[in-house]
Chains A and B, each alone.
Chain A
């Protein structure tokens, strides 16, 4: 059963506007979350992460928000650029134990120039 879900397979946004990618999880024991970005013919690359003790983490144009009560996180990209066009995966993990990652199904973001 998919413990991490990204319900929007695709998203299109105009250049300069905000992109919001959403992710939901079912296991309340997850306490660390990551976003990965994937270009065609390349492996996923780490983008940003957040621990469950925080509700927001910011890195340049990228901000991740965590709502533990709703078991929901989102990635905001502001302003969006054409180079941001890629598939974005959210992933969840546990702070203790094996630290394995549980990935969502991915959202393909297209930023239109």
Chain B
């Protein structure tokens, strides 16, 4: 079944460490997104990519970077993790050619804790 997967599912790290979260999809979608979810704040967009050569900042990109290695892979990096980056991180995909082009398909999430 076509899917969106995220690794790792849980990660505990220390302040100042570099960390990478990975996302892979088998849906064949061109568009991919990274969100973070914090209690009381909903989901906020960090970065999005419309294809391998197109990367765009979202609402809260400071402290993060991304890499679109292939159509199917989109990774999020925290160059020097800080405690307020503790959150639930979601990757999502969408197909702009679909009838419901606004619909995004989410991975299961990565719970990141920065000590």
Show the binding face of B for A, using Cβ within 8 Å.
4, 33, 35, 40-45, 48, 50, 56, 58, 90, 92, 94, 96, 100-109
Q: Within 8 Å CB of A34, what residues of B?
A: 102-103
Q: Are A89 and B42 in contact (CB under 8 A)?
A: yes
Q: Are B96 and A103 in contact (CB under 8 A)?
A: no
Number of residue pairs spanning A and B whose beta carbons lie under 8 angstroms apart: 57
Write 24 A-B pairs (CB below 8 A) sorted by A numbering: A2-B41, A2-B42, A6-B42, A34-B103, A41-B108, A42-B109, A43-B107, A43-B108, A44-B43, A49-B102, A98-B50, A99-B101, A99-B102, A100-B33, A100-B48, A100-B58, A101-B45, A101-B104, A103-B43, A104-B42, A105-B40, A105-B41, A105-B42, A106-B42
Interface majority SS (helix, strand, loop, mixed), chain A: loop
Closest 7 A/B residue pairs (Cβ): A43-B106, A103-B42, A103-B43, A105-B42, A46-B103, A44-B106, A93-B102
